[in-house]
Chain A
Amino acid sequence: MTVKPVKIRGRLKGVIANIKCLMPHPMETGTRRDDAGELIPAHYIRTVTCLHNDSEVMTAHWGPSVSKDPYFSFKIKTASVGDSIKVSWVDNLGETSSGDIVLK
């Protein structure tokens, strides 16, 4: 399976930046069975790290009960035009992906 990048949208409202992310990922719980009745192994994002100008502003720790293709939004208190935002994740199989944008 190819790992897809994180899609990010950022919107400045005054100094507050509203960041929305979409992370294509199966988020398998490990309790579902396929058509043959075999358990589908767990595969889910565990940690999401959000960087604002390379400093960590938010970390999300997830279990398998976050929905497939997770959506995540958060806000940064003091941001301005030209600031960089980077969001990356690591899943339980050690796979990783990220995405970044520049606020405008």
Chain B
Amino acid sequence: MKTNFSRRWFVKGLAAVAVIASFPGAAFARATGAFKADKTDSVVNVLFGDLPIEASSQITFRLPDIAENGAVVPATVATEIEDVTQIAIVIDENPNPLSAVFDIGESSVADVSTRIKVGKSSVARAYVKSRGRVFMTIREVKVTIGGCGG
């Protein structure tokens, strides 16, 4: 019985390693602290390394121009670009600019929506990673009431 028990743990360990390995991008982001970075440049560096960032008009980044309540700002990122593996939302002026990273599986559409906090008026960036290339689009959002000061 005892050997059985330890073997089960070994198998579980293998399974855990497999799960982490199957999503290297964002596991990497978490481990290396992309969410802790306090500048957009360092967020991008951690997420995408040396890959060049290409401005793209093929990304639809929906965000209100003026947010009355910075604590709840609806954001949608969608794109026609094929084989998207990752989408990231970054708000330059937030204390930690990286808001969210989405790992897009093969069977899901590159179209995600959520709501984020925006501390003060800021440049917002949506990044899309596909086939080893990184595309970005920029929006500006004006905030009339802060989202982080409470």
Contact = CB atoms under 8 A, between A and B. Distances in A.
Nearest to B104: A58
Contact of B112 (A56, A73, A78): A73
Interface string A52-96: 100111111111111110111111111000000000000000000
Contacts of B95: 31
- Majority secondary structure of chain A interface residues (helix, strand, loop or mixed): strand
A60 B98 CA distance: 13
A66 B99 CA distance: 6
Give the size category of B's interface with A. Answer: 35 or more
Contacts, number: 105
A48 to B, nearest CB: 9
Nearest to B102: A60
A33 B148 CA distance: 11
Given A57-B107, A76-B108, A67 B148 contact: no
A4 interface: no
B142 interface: no
Nearest to A50: B108
B114 A72 contact: yes
Interface in B90-117: 91, 94-96, 98-105, 107-109, 111-117
A63 B99 contact: yes
Interface of A: 16, 29, 31-33, 46-47, 50, 52, 55-68, 70-78
